[in-house]
Structure 1
């Protein structure tokens, strides 16, 4: 279970201010609703879990195509 004070702690760590997402332009004139002209958007997030000054890392499986056997920050895509 997450600490209920986590949002406040994160806000303090970021300087106590909100960080709104930047404004993005609207859809392109030539945009479509999918198909061959669709643009794939990938969103990734990295998770850093720390306790007593130690950070939890994951280790990539040695058989993966990219960076096999390497320690890394936990991430989702």
Structure 2
């Protein structure tokens, strides 16, 4: 995941007739990224199948338990 500043639609420093260009480029790059064969570039381990909801709740539960400072019994059931 990359941190980025998303451009607002006003872009006051850009000529009004050119303001669509940065957004068109963002769309072009996103489309190109989505066309990459993730297996061919060695990202097959990123292809996680299964129930996203179960994985996410499981991850949150592990994070909660790892950062727990006191035992709140009713939360741990």
TM-score category of the 2 structures, normalised to the smaller one = under 0.3
Q: Structure 1 or 2: larger helix share?
A: 2
Q: Structure 1 or 2: larger strand share?
A: 1
**Which has the larger Rg?**
2
